[in-house]
Structure 1
Amino acid sequence: MGAKIKICGIRTPEIIQVCTDLKVDLIGLNFSPNSPRNIKENEISNLIRNRHTEGFPKIVFLFYGNEIPEIRHIVENYKPDYVQLIQDDAKLTDDIWNHYLNSKQLLPSFRIRENIKDESVLCPELPFVILDSYKKGLGGGTGESFPWEYVKNVKRPYLLAGGITPENVREALNYLNPFGIDVASGVETDGKKDPEKIKQLVKYVRG
């Protein structure tokens, strides 16, 4: 099937429809108060209203810097397929992390700052994780990549995030052969998701 594609930080039903039509695998809705892509609870129902139609992407809710009761409330009421938590989020507790880990709903994001020498820290009990770049105060969507050689020897499945664009995605796939890619700012124009860039990206990934 080739590499999986996750488009993160989506804010409109129109872009979700584009992703559905292109058979994108996962879509991310961002609830982080720190992010320019964040959405509010009252927007969720409209965005995922077609979730039960055939071919609708898996839904990921991203939290970073959120209060624990808010995370629990939103997840329990809107039931995403995955809950994306950032491993070094100071607001997280072991309880909430382990809750979603044990239910296999957790999609953990690890922000890479050095060579990964020990894969046992990357939640081997889960099907896949996200490996992203680090930028203080942001849980993702930085538009900046990290040195790919840091994860060159990682064998477990992961989505490569951080500065992926239509222009460099083939290079990334050829160099690392990741399970998939996770893109936010790389398919935007002037801070908004660009359907043409999403189409380009999907074309380059699917070949």
Structure 2
Amino acid sequence: MTLVKICGIQEVKHAQIAAQGGADAIGFVFAPSKRQISVNKAAEIAKQLPSTVNKIGVFVNASKQELETTAHAVGLDFVQLHGDETPEFCEQLDLPYIKSFRIQSEEDLQALNQYDSATYFLLDSASGPYRGGNGTQFDWSILDNNDFNHEKFILAGGLNPDNVQQAIKQTQPMMVDVSSGVETDGQKDETKINQFINLVKERSTCHTHNQI
């Protein structure tokens, strides 16, 4: 079954809606973003969530100390790295990590081979002002003829209730990651969160994946 991550959580109520709706993970953005959250606020929200929901922190070029301190304070299960973190830097981490890649062409996929120690890798669009969370979609056909481990593959970028079933059918990710696609006027929308989760679970009942 394809898993669901609801990212850019800033309020307890939205985290609880996601968890109750069946989300497998929620994301806290610690990097500069309109969805940036403080460590204290993220820790407060994380305490309200069941242990079955993974807590993932999103960072851009954070130091090893910042990653480890924040992970400990919040209780993160994974750190998600959206910056220029080198393979050498990532291998020094004492934390499970997700490495994000901005995809514009097939050549961009070659970088995946350098991050063997990543627990998962996230493929996102390269368009927009931020390293992630821009709500833009990349050309999924780039993935068609490329052989990579789909059990480690998280799809992000411009996903929403209208296109997520097609995205899963075409790219076969282990997890789909959504933020702006479940928002209305820049705020998480309970109806859209539940609709998105339900569509993913409905589409993926015929597929099985390892749990994150």
1:172 aligns with 2:198: no
Task: Say which structure is richer in helix.
Answer: 2
Matching of residues 107-118 of structure 1 within 5 Å = 107-115=98-106, 118=110
Could you report, residue by residue, the CA deviation over 1:123-150 in whole angstroms, capped at 9, with x for unpaired residues? 3444421111113651211100011011
State TM-score, norm by structure 2: 0.84
Output the CA distance in 2 between the equivalents of 1:162 and 1:11: 19
Q: 1:122 to 1:3 in 2, by over 3 A?
A: farther
**Gaps (5+ residues) in structure 1?**
none
Contact 2:112-2:121 within 8 A present in 1 as well: no
Matching of residues 177-188 of structure 1 within 5 Å = 177-188=172-183
1:202 aligns with 2:205: no
Matched residue SS, 2:57: strand
1:179 CA displacement: 1.3
Contact 1:122-1:129 within 8 A present in 2 as well: no
| Residue 49 (structure 1) aligns with | 47
Give the partner amino acid of 1:47.
I
1:64 aligns with 2:63: no
Output the CA distance in 2 between the equivalents of 1:72 and 1:127: 16
**Gaps (5+ residues) in structure 2?**
203-212
The RMSD of aligned alpha carbons is 2.2
- Structure with higher RCO (Cα < 8 A, 6+ apart): 2
| Residue 98 (structure 1) aligns with | 91
1:69 CA displacement: 4.0
Aligned length: 198
Q: 1:18 to 1:37 in 2, by over 3 A?
A: same
Matched residue SS, 1:29: strand
Give the partner amino acid of 2:102.
R
1:64 CA displacement: 1.4
1:66 CA displacement: 4.0
Q: 1:46 to 1:183 in 2, by over 3 A?
A: same
Output the CA distance in 1 between the equivalents of 2:99 and 2:7: 14
1:68 CA displacement: 5.0
Contact 1:144-1:162 within 8 A present in 2 as well: yes
1:121 CA displacement: 2.1
Give the partner amino acid of 1:38.
Q
- Counterpart selection for 1:77 from 69, 73, 76: 73
Matched residue SS, 2:148: coil
| Residue 115 (structure 2) aligns with | 123
1:70 CA displacement: 3.0
Say which is worse superposed, 154-163 or 116-125, in terms of deviation.
116-125
1:145 aligns with 2:137: yes
1:7 aligns with 2:6: yes
Matched residue SS, 1:198: helix
Give the partner amino acid of 2:100.
S
1:120 CA displacement: 5.1
Output the CA distance in 2 between the equivalents of 1:169 and 1:204: 7
Contact 1:8-1:184 within 8 A present in 2 as well: yes
State TM-score, norm by structure 1: 0.85
Q: 1:118 to 1:69 in 2, by over 3 A?
A: closer
Q: 1:154 to 1:64 in 2, by over 3 A?
A: same
